[in-house]
Amino acid sequence: MLLKLAGSLDALTAPELLPTIDRLVDERRTRITVQLEGLDLIDSSGVAAIVALYKRTRSNGGRVTVTGARDQPLAIFKLLRMDRVFAL
Amino acid sequence: MSNRVGNEGMIQLTCPADLRYRDVAVRAVAEACRLVSRSRYAHGSQESAVSSQPLDLSDRFAAEVVSAVSEIFNNIAIHGYRGEGSGDVTLELRIRGDCLVILISDEGSAFDPSQVPLPELDALPEGGMGIHIARACMDELDYTPGPPNVWRLIKYTSGFGRRQRHASSPI
């Protein structure tokens, strides 16, 4: 399952992603790739949404891979030491 | 609104403390970052301050400042005004030769940022990261409860202030 995110993932837009996360978890998807090549800006709310997807999928025995983070989003993942978790 | 005092350019922006307006604030901050960079590399340049370019956060200085301001704006909109969008937030951007000074003020509920615990990063937190991000991204960050509540953020182009202040992991 490929989830492409673009633009801004922040306190305004992250709530729009939550139904998709719920659906992926309910479907018990075990291989999810979150592609961030098109993402320009992320904030703590956006990070929280991706972490929620990661944790809930892992609790189902699945795995989430995050790819393509660059510039500001990559910097935030590094600051929060999540670059190692997501192998960025 | 903008004006100039000596060598300091100032931009002031007031908008509703509503997340739908955050992008306006972010873009003003990103442009102010570019102006600081220009004053660093092109003294006496007549370059226009107006840009039609899309939001570009590939520059580390801009990425860090925008990250910090985004979190502070979120905090004011969500906690200060409890998401009701019932008040305003004012940004004052002071563009200096060696740094950008940002004052962010609001009339919402005050809080004590010193009581915000550091997030347990190894536990992959799903909240409580905003103030940590803001602190780590700026060289100086302080808060004066009001009304008005005033955040003061400073970012130096040289990174000197960061090294002096704390040992947080730089971006």
pLDDT at B51: 42
Give yes or no for residue B53 having a pLDDT over 60: no
pLDDT at B114: 84
Tell me if A85 is assigned to some domain.
no
Chain B residues in contact with A76 by the CB 8 A cut-off are 67, 133, 171
pLDDT at B111: 85
Torsion of CA B138, B26, A9, A38, to 10 degrees: -100
Is residue B8 classed as helix, strand or coil in its secondary structure? strand
pLDDT in tens, B11-31: 999 999 999 999 999 999 999
Give yes or no for residue B166 having a pLDDT over 60: no
Q: Please state which CATH number belongs to domain B2-41+51-165.
A: 3.30.565.10
Mean pLDDT of all residues in chain B? 83
Q: Check: CB of residue B154 under 8 Å from CB of residue B138.
A: yes
pLDDT confidence band for B54 (50 / 70 / 90) = low
Distance from CA of B130 to the nearest CA of A (A): 6
pLDDT in tens, A5-46: 999 999 999 999 999 999 999 999 999 999 999 999 999 999
pLDDT confidence band for B47 (50 / 70 / 90) = very low
pLDDT in tens, B63-92: 999 999 999 999 999 999 986 768 999 999
* ipTM for the assembly: 0.92
Element (H, E) at B128: none
pLDDT at B42: 47
Torsion of CA B162, B163, B167, B171, to 10 degrees: 50
Q: Which of A23-27, B79-83, B99-103, B107-111 has the lowest mean pLDDT?
A: B79-83
**Secondary-structure percent of chain B, ordered helix, strand, coil, rounded to 5:** 35, 25, 40
Better-scored residue on pLDDT, A20 or B5: A20
User: In this structure, what CATH number is given to the domain that contains residue A12?
Assistant: 3.30.750.24
Give residues with Cβ within 8 angstroms of B129, minimum separation 6: A44, A47, A48, A80, B119
Tell me if A87 is assigned to some domain.
no
In A, residues 26-65, which contact B (CB 8 Å cutoff)? 40-41, 43-45, 47-48, 51-52, 54-55
* Cβ <8 Å between A40 and B26: no
Domain count, chain A: 1
Domain boundaries, position A11? 2-79
Return the structure tokens found at A47: 């990070």
For residue B126, which phi and psi values (nearest 5 degrees)? -110, 15
Tell me if A88 is assigned to some domain.
no
| Neighbour-count burial for B95-134, b at 16+ CB within 10 Å, e otherwise | bbeebbbbbbbbbbeeeebeeeeebeeeebbbeebbbbbb
Tell me if A9 is assigned to some domain.
yes
- Whose tokens are 């592609």? That residue is A35
| Percent of chain B residues topping a pLDDT of 70 | 77
pLDDT at B158: 84
Q: How far apart are CA B17 and CA B74, in angstroms?
A: 9
Give yes or no for residue A70 having a pLDDT over 70: yes
Return the structure tokens found at A87: 């192998």
